[in-house]
Amino acid sequence: MLAVATLGTAAAAELVYEVTLDPAKPTTAQVRLAAPAGERFLATAPVQARGAQIGVAIQAERLSCDGRGVPLRKDGWHLPRTGCRELTWTIAFDTLGPLGVDASNQQNLYDPVRKFWLVSEPASLLRAPGTESGALIEFRGVGEVLGGMARGSAARRTVPGLDAAPEFYFAGGSLPTRRFVAGGRPVVYLKVAEADYAAIERVHRAGLDYLAQVVRATPTTEPSIVVWLPIEESQRATGGAAGSSSILANVATVEGRAQPLRLPFAQLLVLHEQFHQLAPQPLPHWLNESLAEYYARKALRRADPGVGALHLVERRYPPLTAPPRQTLLAVQRQIDDGDFSAYGLLYTEGSNFWLAVDQAILAASAGKRSLDDELPFLLTAEYPQGRLPPAVVERLRAAAGASAFDELLVEWVGQSP
């Protein structure tokens, strides 16, 4: 979307966002982005952080081009026609207070108690020409750094391309972490909320082991980071956000203490996002979200979080006997037209569709097979028109019984067999 201008493709790897964090002034940070030797950032398009496209409040301020202020217009900063050798700007941080924070806002955050920063890539990094892919970020003036993948040093991390999920970075003197390995990958918790992390880990570990097994994920040494952010229940805003390697999840608190009853929702969210991380194949929205939600729901059940917790989570979904409000392909068409208002149906009705298919396969095989056996095939098939292709339809008809599956396909997906 941004023309590369004078920056050649080889230059991309040399682009490094240098972020200087200062414990003496923790609510702002300086960012510097220099063009490779002999090249300039040209005014081919306005410069903006990509969070602007997804409703994230931009916390980048005061952009300068070679030391001179750049005007900010509605569509972003307009660089001078002669271009810039070096871009510098500041980023602002919200301070984590007693009410906590809504994780879905994807904001920069400073925790004055544990003294660490959360840097949100979509809110902070201005995407100058040449940073579309392969750029890096380097942190100065801090201790431990997490987020993205390390490149060359622990303080130098990858920046996602424009077509990848957003990223979050964590830096500070000593991050409050808890580490374990599950599903063939390291998991790092950043413990911001006060909570029973041993109990959270037990459920997460069992769920992740199961997901990695059904997805047939290859083991990796790159950690998945889960940041448990507190939010007071009075704020009525528990949410989450998922990045390429990091997940922000809210823990509902009352006067700073975690509410165990609300935890299963956060754990469902984490398992949903981990399904995406384990199965990063490009799938149509409706298929991607419905499978992620169904498998998070199934993984949570297998992880045995307790009857009360399961009951609470299951109330999120309509009963299987309720007819779908819209077919999944109808929701997909709305999304293709830029209307995301029915997106939530991909989670609720979408996961109900797969639950019904799973039950049909169990019934047809007298309990010997399940949707798990078909999942690797589903994840590697091609979906040229966004619908289930004949090979997938045939496979699921064979597993679930032809007439049972055809009925579900028409009713929930809105596709004729």
- Residues near Zn ion, by CB under 5 A: 289, 292
In the bound complex, what is the minimum distance in angstroms from residue 272's beta carbon to Zn ion?
A: 5
Query: CB-wise, 201 or 289, nearer to Zn ion?
Result: 289
In terms of CB distance, is 205 or 285 closer to Zn ion? 285
C-alpha pair distances (Å), 20 with each of 23, 45, 60, 137, 193: 10, 27, 14, 11, 26
Please identify, using beta-carbon distances, which residue of 289 and 374 lies nearer to Zn ion.
Answer: 289
**364: part of which helix (H) or strand (E)?**
helix 345-364
Bridge-based pairing state of the strands 76-77 and 86-92: unpaired
Minimal distance, residue 290 CB to Zn ion, in Å: 9
Could you tell me the strand order of the sheet in which 168-172 lies?
A: 94-95, 109-111, 116-120, 168-172, 144-146
Residue 292 C-beta: closest distance to Zn ion, Å: 5
Taking the least distance from each CB to Zn ion, the nearer of 103 and 195 is 103
Largest CA distance in the chain: 72
Residue whose token pair is 């906590």: 100
Residue nearest to Zn ion (CB): 292
Is residue 295 packed enough to be buried (19+ CB in 10 Å), middle (13-18) or exposed (0-12)?
buried
Q: How far is the CB of 270 from Zn ion (least distance, A)?
A: 11
Q: Smallest distance from the beta carbon of 249 to Zn ion, in angstroms?
A: 13
Residues 6+ apart with CB under 8 A from 151: 136, 157, 158
**Nearest distance from C-beta of residue 85 to Zn ion, angstroms:** 40
Specify whether the backbone of 256 is left (phi greater than 0), alpha (psi in -120 to 50) or beta: left
Nearer to Zn ion, 31 or 165 (CB): 165
CB 346 to Zn ion: min, Å? 8
121 or 289: whose CB is closer to Zn ion?
A: 289
Contact indicator for 275, 295 with CB cutoff of 8 Å:
yes
Residue (247 or 292) nearer to Zn ion, CB: 292
DSSP 410: I
- d(CA 274, CA 187) in angstroms, rounded, equals 11
